[in-house]
Structure 1
Amino acid sequence: MHKEKKYTVITGASSGLGKAFVLACAQRGHNVIMIALPGSPAQAIADDIMAIYPVDVQVYLFDLTDETALKNQVQDIAANYAVDFLINNVGIGGTASFVSSSLEAIDKILLLNVRCTTLMTKLLLPSLTVNSKSYIINIASIAAFTPIAYKTVYPASKAFIASFSLGLQYELAELGVQVSVVYPGPIMTNSDTSGRLIKQGLKATLGLKSTDYIANMAINKTLAGKSIIVPGRFNRFNYYLTRFLPTKTKIGLISKTVKKEIQQL
């Protein structure tokens, strides 16, 4: 057991924004528990980080869409480690018409974006609430602000994360748990993603931010007690704009841009 140290649990930790969160936490001296898929480079990342920073990094490899594995592995984490920070980063998107989407693709979005975040939070809550102060970061998306054609399930799942997080913040505040929801815009996770966004034109890239930028801003603002975090000026502008635009107008403007992505596939 490692109850003498505090740990930050990060899902989807072996690549993209999750990997950036691991590095940002290590740079701040936080011990980390990485959750990633079997076959991912998570252990190599952990070894590299521990060779550079004076922190402990533990790795759990399992499929978060497997409910039994999720429950068993997270219960093991709770039993053996003192957790004071949870970063529910894992998620999946995709652009396709609902008509042509497979049941498997739709279910995977719901399992990772909705069920995983909810169950991870529930299972680790007893560990978090024993501390005088603990933190939860949930990753939503700028897409949560409006329904979007040709993505349909993804923005709906992120709207769930937003509502879940803000309600939970109110509920857990008296227990010393700060819950923050992050609304990233486009993310430069890799060259393929960045290239596809660039092809869509200026509107699709104005809010583009690096994973390092988003991870560091999210952690800093969460530790400062901010519940709503929107990285990037353009994305913050969109956040306020979408609160006033009629829903029909929002759907039309954004869906036209997304449709271009389908036409390029």
Structure 2
Amino acid sequence: MPTALITGASGGIGKCFAQKLAAQNTNLIIVARSEDKLKALAQQLQEQYKIQVDVIVKDLTQTSAAQEIFETTQAKGLTVDLLINNAGFGDYGEFAKTDGDRQIEMIQLNNVALVALTHKFLPQMREKGSGSIINVSSIAAYQPIPYLSVYAATKAFVRSFSEALWAENRQYGVKVLVVSPGPTETNFFNEANFPPSLARNAQSMSTPEEVVDEAMKALENGNAAVVVGGIASKFITGLSSVVPRETLLNLLEKQFKA
């Protein structure tokens, strides 16, 4: 029975990945900071699907987290067949006025932890000639976004990093996919301190189930990347290739200014 490790599994897209994979008879290693939520999810999925669910309570903004997660899986004799780097957050506001420590934590979680976990588990996948990695990015990856400057930059990093790994690892039987959802029905806007007026103006939102279904379909097809969110998301991600850079930035600054 395959095993998937999912970060940010206590809610939203990560929780939905756990539920979908459990229904497909996949054992799970679920990671997040919220012990109560993880244990409740683990109990539910174990009882419903008769799978094994290991809980790792870890704050991925801590620099030692990825190493500790890897050591825990090794100590338990767990082999990770599917790594889903889903944990991440955003923070709205003018960069000069934001909490600097929070910006660094965002980079640590969205990028450093993702790279570190990938670097721990990818060699094992290459060695056995199979395995998959899903990295969750965002349509914010396709252009700089004023007032979400660090968040958009972290997601652009995830997109570029993941697509490069897709090309490097196909020959070893390892699939790598970057998923870029548009606005999704999660707690993102609240956690990012988005002004209510801007949150209300967000394009029609995808459900976490739609994001996960599209991601799993794209992974099965061996795609390098998938954008989720219908025509609106496809349109947004295509703008940067046809609109002059400064024109696009001026438009985005007006759109995202509270």
Q: TM-score, normalised by structure 1?
A: 0.89
Aligned pair 1:181/2:178, yes or no? yes
Report SS of the residue matched to 2:79: strand
Partner of 1:13: 9
Structure 2 stretches of 5 or more lacking a match?
none
Counterpart code for 1:216: D
8 Å Cα contact 1:187/1:209 also seen in 2: yes
Aligned pair 1:126/2:120, yes or no? no
Report SS of the residue matched to 1:243: coil
8 Å Cα contact 1:78/1:124 also seen in 2: no
TM-fit CA distance, 1:88: 0.4
Report SS of the residue matched to 1:244: coil
TM-fit CA distance, 1:184: 0.8
Partner of 1:156: 153
8 Å Cα contact 1:11/1:88 also seen in 2: yes
8 Å Cα contact 2:134/2:179 also seen in 1: yes
When residues 130 and 226 of structure 1 are mapped into structure 2, their CA distance, relative to the original with a 3 A threshold, is same
- Separation of aligned partners in 1, 2:101 and 2:220: 37
Partner of 2:226: 229
- Separation of aligned partners in 2, 1:72 and 1:191: 27
When residues 192 and 73 of structure 1 are mapped into structure 2, their CA distance, relative to the original with a 3 A threshold, is closer
When residues 158 and 191 of structure 1 are mapped into structure 2, their CA distance, relative to the original with a 3 A threshold, is closer
When residues 239 and 69 of structure 1 are mapped into structure 2, their CA distance, relative to the original with a 3 A threshold, is closer
TM-fit CA distance, 1:191: 9.8
Report SS of the residue matched to 1:83: coil
Aligned pair 1:29/2:25, yes or no? yes
Partner of 2:59: 63
When residues 220 and 55 of structure 1 are mapped into structure 2, their CA distance, relative to the original with a 3 A threshold, is farther
Partner of 2:197: 199
- Separation of aligned partners in 1, 2:20 and 2:250: 37
- Separation of aligned partners in 1, 2:197 and 2:93: 17
Partner of 1:117: 114
- Separation of aligned partners in 1, 2:147 and 2:195: 15
Report SS of the residue matched to 1:82: coil
- Separation of aligned partners in 2, 1:191 and 1:98: 18
- Separation of aligned partners in 1, 2:66 and 2:129: 26
- Separation of aligned partners in 1, 2:221 and 2:4: 17
Q: Which segment drifts farther, 182-191 or 137-146?
A: 182-191
8 Å Cα contact 1:197/1:204 also seen in 2: no
- Separation of aligned partners in 1, 2:195 and 2:47: 35
TM-fit CA distance, 1:203: 5.7
Structure 1 stretches of 5 or more lacking a match?
261-265
- Separation of aligned partners in 2, 1:197 and 1:10: 30
- Separation of aligned partners in 1, 2:90 and 2:74: 29
- Separation of aligned partners in 2, 1:94 and 1:117: 18
TM-fit CA distance, 1:22: 0.7
TM-fit CA distance, 1:67: 2.0
Partner of 2:134: 137
Counterpart code for 1:108: E
Counterpart code for 2:176: V
Partner of 1:263: none
When the two chains are superposed, the root-mean-square deviation of aligned CA atoms in Å is 2.1
Partner of 2:42: 46
Of residues 91, 94, 99 in structure 1, which corresponds to 2:91? 94
- Separation of aligned partners in 2, 1:251 and 1:191: 23
Q: TM-score, normalised by structure 2?
A: 0.91
